[in-house]
Amino acid sequence: MAPNLLPIDYILGIVVFWLALGLAGLVLQRQPRLLAQLLFPAGALGALALAVVTLGALGGGTNVAVLPLGLPDLPFHLRLDALSAFFLLLLGGAVFGISVYGAGYFRTMEGSTLGLLCLEYHLFIASMVLVLLADDAYLFMVAWEAMALSSYFLVTTDHKVPEIRRAGFLYLLIAHVGAIGILLCFGVMQGGQGDYSFATMRQAELSPFWASATFLLALFGFGAKAGLLPLHAWLPEAHPAAPSPVSALMSGVMLKTAIYGLLRVTFDLLGTQLWWWGALTLVLGLMTALYGVLFAAVQSDMKRLLAYSSIENIGIILAGIGLGIIFHAFHQEAVAVLALVAALYHALNHAFFKGLLFLGTGSVLHATGERNLGHLGGLIRRMPWVAVLVLVGTLAIAGLPPFNGFVSEWLLLQAFLLTPALPHPYLNMMIPLGAAAIALAAALAAYAMVKFYGVIFLGQHREEKLLHAHDAGNWERLGLGWMAAACLALGLFPVAVILQLDNVTQLLIGRELGSSAGHAGWLWLTPVAPERASYSPVILFLIILVGLGFTFIAVRKLYHGRLRRGAPWDCGFPAQTPRMQDTAEGFSQPIRQIFEPVFGIIRELPSPFDTHPHYHGETRDRLWNLFYLPIAAVTEKLSGLIGKLQHGRISIYLLYSFITLLALLAFVR
């Protein structure tokens, strides 16, 4: 054993291990069963090791490493500090569950071969680790591109379907538009020194104008990756197209690398912040949250519903970050730390509950072959394990106590309520309106998730083939169970989580929350002061359990437990069929009606005289027409103009060279 191995060395070891697993996947192509059940659990163990190492490294200061890779004289710089350790912990924890699940999920694949998929999968998680560790712009962009490309290939696993190829193309396009933004952002930050290491960027003093330019470029570039409005269009196309574990990885983990990047640039690399950056981020975040949740509520495809819900959650996280920037800019560190902790906590929570839900849809998809909510139903009776575990995720994402989604939203609302501390009368008044938007988004999320769970798992089976659906296997149950347990644990022990998050906020703004949040011990979450606000999920959970036990026993002992089974009553209506239940469209009809101006709704209704009545309804994203298509049209026009320069005749090209030469000579002289 080599002496003095730093945590970062172990992490690099895990990265190499994952790459080796990916290559082993190519070797084991011919034995898909062995491949899935050997390599994916091994990868999961790597992820668990990563989580353990980074949990230890969170409070352990920074360590750096230089890899003799890359271009001559331009080695890769790596750095592990509390911020990257936190996101690596998130990655390790979520990837463990997803990889274990993958061992059962990936059997024979259509389209792409399993060996290739194994390589892309491990390349994808390894490149995410490198993004989080990068300490120079060069390595960051290389890893970022590797992440984008490997996930592009994962999205297009099923490349024989035209829609999936189209989704993959859109994803690749927006990923690269965003990457240009990030590259320019780094270019501005190095300030003409030609040194792209983050250490130099930390030292650079930027004027407010250039600092603002950097921030806006970062917001654009990372926003494109995170699905910030109006750059979200790829997300509901690409995430559902991938195999479910990959969707879980993209929604749960990859989106967080964008959050990481934004935090890294804003708080670490740029020394100071202006308050209007935060206001912009807050407003965009709130709009993204509301927009995402409204579209989630009207989707009919279960994975698209979850993808839109990811947009909502990213919006909530960004709102927290925006609030943090505002408070930090006004030197209200005590509140800034609360908002940032809420945002980081929500990022962690989202990785687990969204991962859990995407994995759950994977099991449903395998068991039934259906993604459309209109063909599902009643699965709680055929797949009780998946149903119970997904219920945990549903309650968590709907922001209900005592699960984890509630804790982060609670913290965020507390931060909103502390705005009167701001020395800015106008902001003081406007920011609490943001709390109203968050409350509305949370309530709508509950609507969308009741629809998601109720239509898939409850009610009567809408298709005959659902009667043959089978429950998930042991690997899948284990993966789902891990994610569900994390959702409950993160909900029950917030003080322990916040004590770890303190290392991150200490790095970002030099303050911590744990001293006040854990003021009254691990049992009580008191973010500011006990008399201001307190919440104890463990006590709440225990009271509910004791109350349930007491009520159950009281009713049984005092009266009786007699029970008869009969046909459903339904107001005496005798001829019930599964078709009479609400479809997904029916359930979301009130939302479509109330928020009609937001949606682009296309309806074709039959006239009363149609002999073959045909009904068609579609809800489209309005921004597609308002934003994307005009840009596409302008681009096409421009490229048409440029195309006129190209004739394919060599004499004309020689003429161009000649004219250029003349022009240059004229300039130089």
Partner 1 sequence: MNPTDIAFQLAQNTLVVLAAPLLMGWVNQCRAWMQNRTGPGILQPYRGLVKLLHKDAVLAHDASPLFRATPYILFVCMWLAASLVPVLAIDLPLAPAVDVIALVGIFALARVFISLAAMDIGTSFGTLGARREMLVAFLAEPAMLMVFFTASLISHSTSLPTIVEALAHKEFVLYPSLAFASVAFLMVLLAENARIPVDNPSTHLELTMIHEAMILEYSARHLALIEWASSIKLMAYVTIGIALFFPWGIAEAGNWAAVPYALFVLVLKLTAAGFGLALLETLSAKMRIFRAPEFLGTAFLLAVLGMLVHFLLEV
**555 scored as a contact of partner 1 (CB under 8 A):** yes
Could you say whether residue 655 binds partner 1 (CB under 8 A)? no
> Of 563, 641, 642, 668, which one interacts with partner 1 (CB under 8 A)?
563
Distance between CA atoms of residues 381 and 468, nearest Å: 11
Q: Does residue 581 belong to the site contacting partner 1 (CB under 8 A)?
A: yes
Identify the residue among 163, 570, 596, 610 touching partner 1 (CB under 8 A).
570
Amino acid at 561: G
User: In terms of CB distance, is 173 or 540 closer to partner 1?
Assistant: 540
The least distance separating partner 1 from the CB of residue 533, rounded to whole angstroms, comes to: 4
State the minimum distance, in angstroms, from the CB of residue 374 to partner 1.
13
Residue closer to partner 1, measured from CB, 261 or 377: 377
Nearer to partner 1 by C-beta: 579 or 614?
579
In 90-214, DSSP assigns E strands to none
183 backbone dihedrals φ, ψ, rounded to 5°: -60, -45
Shortest distance in whole angstroms from residue 403 CB to partner 1: 9
From residue 19 to residue 58, the character string flagging contacts with partner 1 as x (rule: CB under 8 A) and all else as - is ----------------------------------------
Choose, by CB under 8 A, the member of 56, 590, 606, 617 that binds partner 1.
Answer: 590
Q: Which of 103, 373, 395, 495 binds partner 1 (CB under 8 A)?
A: 395
**Nearest distance from C-beta of residue 247 to partner 1, angstroms:** 24
Least distance between partner 1 and beta carbon 442 (Å): 8
Residue choice 557, 565, 612, 649 for contact with partner 1 (CB under 8 A):
565
Q: Which one among 64, 109, 173, 400 touches partner 1, defined by CB under 8 A?
A: 400
Q: Which residues, 456 to 485, sit near partner 1 by CB under 8 A?
A: 458-460
State the Cα–Cα distance between residues 356 and 391, nearest whole angstrom.
10
Q: Quick count: other Cβ atoms within 10 Å of Cβ 182?
A: 23
Q: Which of 559, 609, 615, 667 binds partner 1 (CB under 8 A)?
A: 559
402 prior amide bond cis, ω within 30: yes
- Between strands 74-80 and 600-604, the pairing is unpaired
- Quickly tell me which residue has 């309520």 as its tokens: 417
Using CB under 8 A as the binding rule, whether residue 323 contacts partner 1 is answered as: no
Is position 557 an interface residue for partner 1 (rule: CB under 8 A)?
no
Tell me how far, at minimum, the Cβ of 310 lies from partner 1, in Å: 19
Under a CB-based contact definition with an 8 Å cutoff, are residues 19 and 126 in contact?
A: yes
Is 274 among the residues that bind partner 1 (CB under 8 A)? no
The minimum distance between CB 286 and partner 1, in angstroms, equals 13
DSSP letter string, 340-384: HHHHHHHHHHHHHHHHHHHHHHHHHHHHH---BGGG---GGGT-H
Q: With contact defined as beta carbons under 8 Å apart, do 584 and 303 qualify?
A: no
**Which residue in 411, 409, 417, 414 sits closest to 442, CA to CA?**
409
- CA 286 to chain CA centroid, Å, is 16
Using CB under 8 A, pick the residue from 220, 587, 619, 621 that binds partner 1. Answer: 587
Report whether 482 contacts 358 (CB < 8 A): no
Closest CA to 345 of 147, 493, 538: 493
Number of residues counted as binding partner 1 (CB under 8 A): 81
Interface segment toward partner 1; rule CB under 8 A; list 42-50, 181-189, 317-325, 572-580: 572-580
Tokens read off for 208: 């407010």
Distance, in Å, from the CA atom of 173 to the CA atom of 119, rounded to the nearest integer, reads 23
Cβ contact 173:231 at 8 Å: no
**Contact with partner 1 (CB under 8 A) among 564, 603, 612, 616:** 564
Q: Rounded to an integer, what distance in angstroms lies between the CA atom of residue 325 and that of residue 335? A: 10
CB 29 within 8 A of CB 73: no
Answer for which of 401, 485, 598, 599 binds partner 1 (CB under 8 A) is 401
DSSP letter assigned to residue 535: B
For 173-213, give the DSSP string. HHHHHHHHHHHHHHHHHTTTS---BHHHHHH----HHHHHH
Answer whether the bond into residue 230 is a cis peptide, omega within 30°.
Answer: yes
Exposed, middle or buried: residue 190 (CB in 10 Å: 0-12, 13-18, 19+)? middle
Closest to partner 1 by CB, 97 vs 399, is 399
600-604 and 616-620 strand pairing: antiparallel
Q: How far is the CB of 412 from partner 1 (least distance, A)?
A: 10
534 near partner 1, judged by CB under 8 A: yes
Interface with partner 1, residue 632, by CB under 8 A: no
- Written as six digits, the tokens of 242 are 């991938």
Give the H/E segment covering residue 604.
strand 600-604
652 binds partner 1 (CB under 8 A): no
- Determine, following the binding rule CB under 8 A, whether residue 536 of this chain makes contact with partner 1: yes
Residue with tokens 């970050």: 321
Site for partner 1 in 402-461 (CB under 8 A): 406, 410, 413-414, 417, 420, 428-429, 432-433, 435-436, 439-440, 442-444, 446-447, 449-451, 453-455, 458-460
Site track for partner 1 across 352-391, x = CB under 8 A: -------------------------xx-xx---------x
Q: Which of 593, 607, 651, 657 binds partner 1 (CB under 8 A)?
A: 593
667 binds partner 1 per the rule CB under 8 A: no
